Every structure is written in C-alpha cells, then in structure tokens.
Amino acid sequence: MTDDFPIKLLSPKTYSWFVLALIMILGALFGWAMSYLLPPIYEARAILTGNMEIVRNGDVTEIMVDSQMTVLGSHVYNEEIVQKVIENENYLGNPLDFEEFKRNASFERQMMNTVLKYRDHDPAIAQRIANAWADEFRALLLEAYPYGIAVSAARNTIVKINNCQKNENAQKLAFCIALNQDEEKKLIKEAQAVIAEKSAQSLGLTSALSIGEVIPADQPDEPVRFTRGRLILAGTLIGFAAGIMTIELKPSRRQEHA
C-alpha cells in the first residue's frame, strides 16, 4: 500500500467525491424525512422565586441556604401536587400519568429560585403543565410554611436557653436574667412538643426562607429537540461518515492501492 493512499482517496480524479456527495445528500434527505416522523419537542419554564437572608457568623449561613434549597428540591415531585396536575390534564383530555410526567419534567436551582421545566410536542401543553406544576408547588410550600415558622421558633427557644447556661455574654440578657429553673424546664418541654408535633408538617422549611411568587412560563416558540434543521444536519454528517466508510472499504479501491 502506498504512503499517499489517504490523499488519493478523495482525489478529484476518482469517483470518490461523487459517492461521498451522493451519500451525504441521502443522509440529509433521511434527516428531512425523520423531521416529519419525530415532531419537535418544546420546553416551558416556570419559576418559583424565593429569598433567604444570609448573615455572616449569624443565625443564617450559606450552608443553611444550601440545605433549604435541597429541601425544596426534595418536594418538587411531591406525589400530591403531581397528582393534581395529572388529574387536571386528564380532565382537559390530555392522558398523562406519573411516569410520563417524570420523563418530561425537570427542575434546576438558579440562586434562590427554582425553575420548573416541562417538555411536550405541543408548546401550549408544555406551558400549561409547567405553570400548573409551579402553582401547586408554591401552594404546598405555603401550606407548610407556618409549621416551619413554629418549629424554627421552638428550636430557637432551646438554643437561647442553652446559651444562657454556657455563654457568659448571653447571661446578661433580659431573657436569661428572668429565666429560672422551673421556667427553663417548662419552655424546653413546650418547645420539644412543638417540634415533635409540627416537624413533619413543616416539610423541613424554616422561618429564614421566604416563599416568593411564581413567574409563569411563556409559550415556547423554538423547539429544544428534533428541529428540522438539526435533523437534516445530523443526517448529512452521518452521510459523510458513511460515505468515507463506503469509499474506504470498497474492495476494488483497497486492491488498487495494495
């Protein structure tokens, strides 16, 4: 085999250019045909805003912020809110179940905001589901938030009592000065009862987190998958690769350069 085989492979003196161009055109046509078989997919994004005050060396730290955002993320696919979205879609004539919802739904964190994303072949359906999902998610958090405030207050009471016992500076505060042993036991018992009773209903939320508003999703104009242009380009590239392989592996050409 000669050393210049790769150069001669695509030499204009051979039939290679014609074969390569033909297969690339066939690939592009295949991509064009697939664009009719694979309808485009649209993605709608609804945003639930939030806020949390960060105090350096204070009650709220960046670690607590991350913890709260993790808590929010753990409730995004709450079965209760997803089921409400599914029931509404079924009522509107769009058959949807939990598994299909999970396949098409996703979320991400952007600073203190939670972005809820939903994909569908119909941009109007994607928009409707994303907005309904965000509204139900916010309603769930607002229902749990008062319990989170109560639990946070109870835990703060226990922390203040512990500070009265261990921190000399805290012992000078009016709360600690007025605190006697009986009152201390009473406050701790009450706080522990609140924590035991309301922790589950709080969904892990704390008073430091502020639940904001929903920024509704717009109806998407541009698809995110299976666009005609991308499928044609993909078909062309596949045709290019297939053309190279066809030319390389053709027995007569391999023998010609042997």
pLDDT on residue 17: 66
- pLDDT score of 31: 59
Check whether residue 204 and residue 92 sit in a common domain. Answer: yes
Provide φ and ψ at 77, rounded to 5°: -100, 30
Whether residue 158 sits in one domain with residue 240: no
All residue ranges of the chain with pLDDT < 70 are 1-20, 23-24, 26-38, 53-62, 170, 225-237, 239-240, 242-244, 246-258
146 domain-assigned: yes
Element of type H or E holding 226 = none
**Distance, CA of 160 to CA of 188 (rounded, Å):** 10
| Residues forming a β-bridge with 114 | 48, 109
230 part of a folded domain: yes
The residues near 237 (Cβ < 8 Å, ≥ 6 apart) are 27
State residue 85's pLDDT score: 96
196 and 240 co-located in one domain:
no
Q: Are residues 60 and 141 in the same domain?
A: yes
Q: Are residues 69 and 177 in the same domain?
A: yes
Residue-wise pLDDT tens digits, 117-158: 999 989 999 999 999 999 999 999 999 999 999 998 999 888
Q: What is the mean pLDDT of the chain?
A: 80
Judge if 147 and 238 occupy the same domain: no
Query: What is the extent of the structural domain holding 130?
Result: 42-215
The predicted-structure confidence for 65-84, as pLDDT tens digits, reads as follows 778 888 888 999 999 999 99
98, part of any domain = yes
Residue 125 and residue 48 share a domain: yes
- Is residue 29 domain-shared with residue 50, that is, in the same domain? no
Exposure class string for 174-196: b at 16+ Cβ within 10 A, else e? eebeebeeeeeeebeeebeebbe
Q: What is the pLDDT of residue 114?
A: 94
Is the domain of 118 the same as that of 10?
no
Inside any domain, residue 220: no
Structural domains of the chain, count: 2
> What is the predicted pLDDT for the residue at 131?
97
- Same domain for 100 and 138, yes or no, is yes
SS3 content of the chain, % helix, strand, coil (to 5): 60, 15, 25
Q: Confirm whether 221 is domain-assigned.
A: no
The predicted model scores a pTM of: 0.70
Q: Are residues 10 and 105 in the same domain?
A: no
| Helix 79-91 vs helix 123-166: crossing angle, to nearest 10 | 160
> Does 32 lie in the same domain as 113?
no
Alpha-carbon span 70 to 73, nearest angstrom: 5
